[in-house]
Amino acid sequence: MISSIHRPTVARVDLQAIKDNVVNIQKHIPTGTKTYAVVKANAYGHGAVQVSKSLLDHVDAYCVSNLDEALELRQAGINKEILILGVLLPSELQLAMTYQITITVASLDWLEIARTMALNLEKLKVHIKIDSGMGRIGVRSLEEADQLIAGLQEMGADVEGVFTHFATADEADRVKFQQQLSFFKELVSRLADKPRLVHASNSATSLWHSDTVFNAVRLGIAIYGLNPSGFELALPFPLKEALSLESVLVHVKKISAGNTVGYGATYVAEQSEYVGTLPIGYADGWTRDMQGFSVLVEGQFCDVIGRVSMDQLTIRLPKAYPLGTKVTLIGKNQQEAISTTDVASYRNTINYEVLCLLSDRIPRLY
Ligand SMILES: *Cc1c(COP(=O)(O)O)cnc(C)c1O
């Protein structure tokens, strides 16, 4: 999708805030911990290349979800280690080897296919994934993990890491977390050949279980300044939200009692009032369920009225504002602010999803 740079809807990304968040999280976890910045999904919508470049002096490596995301960083000249967190099929391995991308291997079936293809894995760096209870990818027993490590080494791979992922690190109830942690600790301690890197901590684990860091962390949402738990758990220290979303009024009019606004004519004015139109809609990731939520105009909350269309939405204004007046959808506006987590909560989802849905049509300004 082409970015709509001639339209006044923009996402501003504060790279300094991201750096500050990384530095503050690093102060909170044991010194010497290796930091992976998780920049998958275009750095949670913030721009993978820009975010990665800005963190070159602050992190040791990056995590992405697939090979294309890794190649994007290599093409941008980033030479640091990149770990793919998802499964890369053996048939796609050659590119990963050429570009020195570290991969995750999560099953003995994968190993079997690689063996059948008689792949030479020399110089390939691998992390093996343990499924300690997330139930997504990874081997689920010590025997499998030992076989996987031995098998990969036989084929020439350098098995440098072993990791797992928690399902409930962002929740107040610690039972499931503790079960996963004990399972993983026990398994790792009994591995016949323990890899150099052991990691289990996403943002939530790094923030609320900083004692359980092994020797590396994988930091995603928190570096972008958001609370992984939404509103459930208090942050141990403040984070700075890096992304704000702004547009401007491109049309302002007065409507009369009984006039309707938007598709389906779902909004009927009870009295005469001012309506403003913004050039942003569900094609930008500002989904239809944002009807009834609000935006900020000159420090005042204004309701989104009528349905959100593909490319436009309408708000009720307290008075007539000039065209070009700034409107904040995420971020500060005078004394008030709307956070991504507020948006997520109204939408019954998580802040991660709100960020990831912001489409490429919205230019990112740094
Ligand atoms: C996305 C992801 C992370 C980062 O999670 P955050 O909650 O954003 O910190 C870490 N590890 C794995 C395996 C992931 O998929």
Rounded Cα distance between 13 and 39, Å, is: 14
Mean pLDDT, residues 266-289 taken together: 98
Q: Answer yes or no: is the C-beta of 328 below 6 A from any ligand 1 atom.
A: no
Q: Answer yes or no: is the C-beta of 200 below 6 A from any ligand 1 atom.
A: no
Indicate which residue's Cα is closest to atom 1 of ligand 1. Answer: 220
Q: Answer yes or no: is the C-beta of 221 below 6 A from any ligand 1 atom.
A: yes
Is the Cβ–Cβ distance between 256 and 268 less than 8 Å? no
Most informative mutation of 38, 42, 164, 199 for ligand 1 (most atoms within 8 A of CB): 38
Q: Answer yes or no: is the C-beta of 206 below 6 A from any ligand 1 atom.
A: no
Query: What integer pLDDT is reported at residue 207 of this predicted model?
Result: 96
Rounded Cα distance between 269 and 254, Å, is: 11
Most informative mutation of 104, 165, 202 for ligand 1 (most atoms within 8 A of CB): 202
Indicate which residue's Cα is closest to atom 4 of ligand 1. Answer: 220
Question: Catalytic residue positions?
Answer: 40, 263
Q: Answer yes or no: is the C-beta of 218 below 6 A from any ligand 1 atom.
A: yes
What tens digit of pLDDT does each residue of 56-69 get? 999 999 999 999 99
pLDDT at residue 167 above 90? yes
Q: How confident is the prediction for the chain on average, in pLDDT? A: 97
Q: Band the pLDDT of 2: cuts 50, 70, 90.
A: confident
Residues facing 246 on adjacent strands:
10, 328
CA of 151 to the centre of ligand 1 (A): 27
What tens digit of pLDDT does each residue of 242-262 get? 999 999 999 999 999 999 999
